[in-house]
Structure 1
């Protein structure tokens, strides 16, 4: 393994994953609204979504998408519509009783599944992630690097992403943090909804360069 190349990949990924975006917004919202377990499952969904980008980058499909305005726009609009859908639902949130912080175990199971899918779809449909991984696997990573090593880089990126957002979920699902947000209740949900809608609109107007 080329350790210099790996460290470069890790550093670029750290800078990218730490910048706020749809993944961060959705993990925070799930953690505050539904607790640590839902937030963690959302984080795992985001991390698993990385494998989608790694797979088509290794197969060369990302290059095709980057060169096709039609395919890029289809992906972009689908992702924007999904973010707008989630955001609008959050904007319509109503005040909830503090007792809702304690969720029955049965609901937790449903929320865990839904949270994982939400995280996975949010990351998997992000066209900016498509372009990020395309540039990573074509510019930063030497094309002569063995595919099994590139796949290893991809596994690291997925695990690192999941761990990062698990930490985000851990922070925002703390009882004191949730109690503080519960005082604002639906206003927080609406604020996060506005962020998601703004991200969706911004994404819809993203141009292929």
Structure 2
């Protein structure tokens, strides 16, 4: 394994700009954090990080290039992503004011870990913009003669950095003042996040 510090720095910078940009990952972590609590949000963050490994795996073996240059395959991925975001958005739009008041704090924070993990994994794994990002990353930023072990190292770094970022987002959005405000007006936030996810789906289809 031969790690180039310059290449690694370029990858880290490109990734940082991409990961802090508003998108489906951020929206779903924010929703999980405020609606379900810290633990489910952390599992969702880990799911998003694991979704990165999916993009890394097919980028390393050139599958991302096949997806990007095969119209029907890329369109299928795009439609699946849009449908999933719309489903999440419609579910959020149906949030009711009584949904939080009828539950105890213990019930609100209780969540099956693999469901929260799965939401994060699917949100990131189905995002066609992530496919294009990793295609650009592995063709432009990473030299073509880079060996498999080094590419894998870069990929694992990207997954860990993504998971760490969204875990951080989960923590900072779980301050007591924010949680208390959400408990009073949470249904409006859910509906807003639902609208954001639907708009993102429309943008995907339009683009």
Normalised by the shorter chain, which TM-score bucket? Answer: over 0.9
- TM-score by length of structure 2 reads 0.95
**Number of the residue aligned with 2:202:** 201
Preserved contact between residue 36 and residue 111 of structure 2 (Cα < 8 Å): no
Matched, 1:70 2:51: no
Provide the alpha-carbon RMSD of the alignment. 1.4
1:51-90 aligned at under 5 Å gives the runs 51-90=53-92
Preserved contact between residue 37 and residue 174 of structure 2 (Cα < 8 Å): yes
**Number of the residue aligned with 1:186:** 187
The partner residue of 1:100 within 100, 103, 107 is 103
Runs of 4+ aligned structure 1 residues displaced above 3 Å come to 97-101
Report the 3-state secondary structure (helix = DSSP H, G, I; strand = E; otherwise coil) of the residue aligned with 2:103. Answer: helix
Preserved contact between residue 39 and residue 173 of structure 1 (Cα < 8 Å): no
**Number of the residue aligned with 1:42:** 44
Mapped to 2, the partners of 1:30 and 1:69 lie a distance apart of 33
Say how many residue pairs are matched. 204
**Which 5+ residue runs of structure 2 have no aligned equivalent?**
none
Q: Tell me the CA shift for residue 108 of structure 1.
A: 2.3
- TM-score by length of structure 1 reads 0.94
Preserved contact between residue 36 and residue 174 of structure 1 (Cα < 8 Å): no
Mapped to 2, the partners of 1:99 and 1:44 lie a distance apart of 29
**Which 5+ residue runs of structure 1 have no aligned equivalent?**
none
Mapped to 2, the partners of 1:62 and 1:185 lie a distance apart of 39
